[in-house]
Amino acid sequence: MNITIKEFVKGAQEAQGVTVIVDVFRAFSTACYAFDNGIKRLIDVATPAEAFALKDKLKADAIIAGEQNERKPEGFDLGNSPTEMLTGEIQGKTIIHCTTAGTKGILNASGASEILGASLVNAGAVASYISMLNPDTVTLVAMGYRGSESAEEDLICARYIRELLSGNENDISAEIASLRNGSGSRFFSPENLSFSPPTDFFLCTELNRFNFALRAVITASGYAEIIRVDMNN
């Protein structure tokens, strides 16, 4: 199995084979918590304009969640926040998800044979799913901060998945803990509390909390339908 780690939207565009889009803070952490809290459907879109248009088409069943440059855009129902997925009324809803990095990565992976979304909270399940497929080529794309700057958490997650696929299970607890004073420190800044609460940091860094992968299927309309794939223990 040939495993490559790339970064950013450019990395997603260059990705080949089974492609994993990694966004720990916070897109795919948010998606995992949303599925765990009972949503009916999750659809990734690239822009707020697409999100509003799709919500208008789907009507009352749909809510929009996400961010642009970390903040919830005007008119969105929820932010890109695991905390909001736990506290919001989302059961049975269709969530239209739009973010600066993660959802764009999914939609830019045009060369992939299969696309997955990953975070620390489901990294083990993603590795198990890929191992089941046993592909020749795997590309792990660490989306980074706003899709253009290296992010410690995404690279830690990508390396962890790579090691699992290579038959190794490294202890990354110290690396995860270091995020508190590194890239995760922004969750504790008073000016960010309204859109990026400290609870999001802790929810995003619960390694292997969920035993399901997130598989993206690009539709004819250009959106990505995100499918929860439960893994057997």
pLDDT mean across residues, the chain: 97
Q: At 185, phi and psi to the nearest 5? A: -65, -25
Over the stretch 1-30, which tens digit does the pLDDT of each residue have? 999 999 999 999 999 999 999 999 999 999
Dihedral sign (CA 168, 151, 6, 213):
positive
Q: Contact, 149 vs 7, CB < 8 A?
A: no
- pTM of the shown model: 0.97
Helical segments of the chain, H only? 8-14, 27-36, 48-58, 82-87, 102-108, 123-133, 152-165, 173-178, 198-204
What are the Cα distances from residue 54, in Å, to 61, 98, 132, 136, 150? 11, 11, 34, 36, 31
Grouping H, G, I as helix, E, B as strand and the rest as coil, residue 229 is strand
pLDDT at site 60: 78
Which DSSP string corresponds to 31-43? HHHHHHTT-SEEE
User: Which mean pLDDT values do the consecutive 10-residue runs of the chain (233 residues) have?
Assistant: 98 98 98 98 97 93 95 97 96 98 98 98 98 98 94 98 96 98 96 94 98 97 97 81
Phi, psi of 147 (to 5 degrees): 75, 10
Please write the tens of the pLDDT for every residue from 125-162: 999 999 999 999 999 999 999 898 999 999 999 999 99
Q: What is the distance between the alpha carbons of residues 75 and 42, in angstroms, rounded to a whole number?
A: 18
- Amino acid 233: pLDDT: 63
> Domain 2-230 carries which CATH code?
3.90.1560.10
Looking at residue 232, the DSSP 8-state letter turns out to be P
Domain ranges of the chain: 2-230
Residue 41 pLDDT? 97
Q: Are the beta carbons of 21 and 141 closer than 8 angstroms?
A: yes
